[in-house]
Amino acid sequence: MIRISNIEKFATHDGPGIRTTVFLKGCFLHCPWCANPETWKSEPVLMHDAKKCVECKTCMHVCEHGAISFPFQWDMDKCIYCKKCENYCLQDAISFAGKDMEINEVIKEVLKDKDYFDQSNGGITISGGEPFMQLDAFLELIKQCKNNGLHVAVETTGNYCLDTLKEALPYIDLFLMDLKHLDAQKLKDITGGNLNLILNNFKYLAQHCPNKVIVRMPVIPRFNDDICEDVIRFCANLKLSEVNLLPFHTMGKSKWNQLNKEFMYDKDKMMDRNDLTPYIDVGKQLGVYVKIGG
Ligand code: SF4
Ligand code: SF4
């Protein structure tokens, strides 16, 4: 059994070709710009869409566990996930992110598009959250993917020990691995990440299978927008050949609202990708292919 938040078909930005992206629940980090904050907790989470809600309070009345109160608040500790609130809401204002699936069910779903993968050199991308968080289920999933001839890409934070990485390595064709900062304290303070673990994993991959790695850097205002060149240089030193600079966007904002969480970048505009194009030349000088976007 594996806990997923979503399966997205015909994805074209999560690795080569046409892909099906499977988003897993659970993450070690908590980046304040995250586009998928509903994946952070391993448990299912209630999402409440205030734009659809007419405040009839039916959800509160049908909940036998006092988990919903108004102004709308959901108490995760009281919730038993009976989903009565979701079923009784006539406005479709309530949904739960997170459901358990058998691994062969996931594989069956993904294989429906195998013809498209084969024609486009695509495959499955496993994302999250952090796929390595559900380690045993994740390992089983990638093994079954390889048994079924799928190209496997993983979107990952790299925030786990090297032994864990080594266990998964034979079943992964491509790591889309984040490098969000090179300052350990800043990374820890803002995201909860451990730079030592991440750099260890980058170094190992660079030594043993550099072609399996694309470095991804979400470029975030006031956090790391002044260190793009340093990250490209870091990759050049490790002889990693591709860096994707991902311009800051606010597309996850409505999810933050639906989770009743404050979105720290409410007043920030989406970053213009042209602001990052000068780094393409920086990359050329250093022998690194720099792509703007995923
Ligand atoms: S049942 Fe739906 S529409 Fe009514 S208050 Fe609850 S969330 Fe809002
Ligand atoms: S899932 Fe059930 S227990 Fe949880 S808030 Fe909804 S009605 Fe209440």
Q: What's the 80 CA to ligand 1 centre distance in angstroms? A: 18
| CATH superfamily placement of domain 2-41+99-292 | Aldolase class I (3.20.20.70)
Q: How many other β-carbons are positioned within 10 Å of the β-carbon of residue 199?
A: 16
Instruction: Judge whether 42 and 133 are in contact, CB under 8 Å.
Output: yes
Interval 54-79 mean pLDDT:
97
Q: Predicted confidence band at 87 (pLDDT cuts at 50, 70, 90)? A: very high
Q: What is the pLDDT of residues 3-28, one digit of tens each?
A: 999 999 999 888 999 999 999 999 99
Q: What is the mean pLDDT of the chain?
A: 97
Q: What's the 19 CA to ligand 2 centre distance in angstroms? A: 34
Residue 127 and residue 14: Cα distance in Å, rounded?
A: 9
Position in ligand 2 atom list of the atom nearest CA 62: 7
Among all bound ligands, the one having the nearest atom to the CA of 86 is 2
Instruction: Supply the pLDDT for residue 12.
Output: 87
Domain boundaries, the chain: 2-41+99-292, 45-97
Interval 47-70 mean pLDDT:
97
Q: What's the 5 CA to ligand 2 centre distance in angstroms? A: 18
Q: What is the pLDDT of residues 228-262, one digit of tens each?
A: 999 999 999 999 999 999 999 998 999 999 999 99
Instruction: Judge whether 25 and 5 are in contact, CB under 8 Å.
Output: yes
Question: Pairing mode, if any, of strands 99-101 and 2-11?
Answer: antiparallel
Residue 30 and residue 37: Cα distance in Å, rounded?
A: 8
Distance from the Cα of residue 195 to its chain's centroid: 18
Output the pTM of the full model.
0.93
Interval 201-218 mean pLDDT:
98
What count of Cα atoms within 13 Å lies in the side-chain half-sphere of residue 1?
Answer: 4
**One-letter identity of residue 50:** A
Fold of the domain built from segment(s) 45-97: Alpha-Beta Plaits (3.30.70)
Q: What is the pLDDT of residues 101-132, one digit of tens each?
A: 999 999 999 999 999 999 999 999 999 999 99
CA angle 34, 171, 126 (to 5 degrees): 25
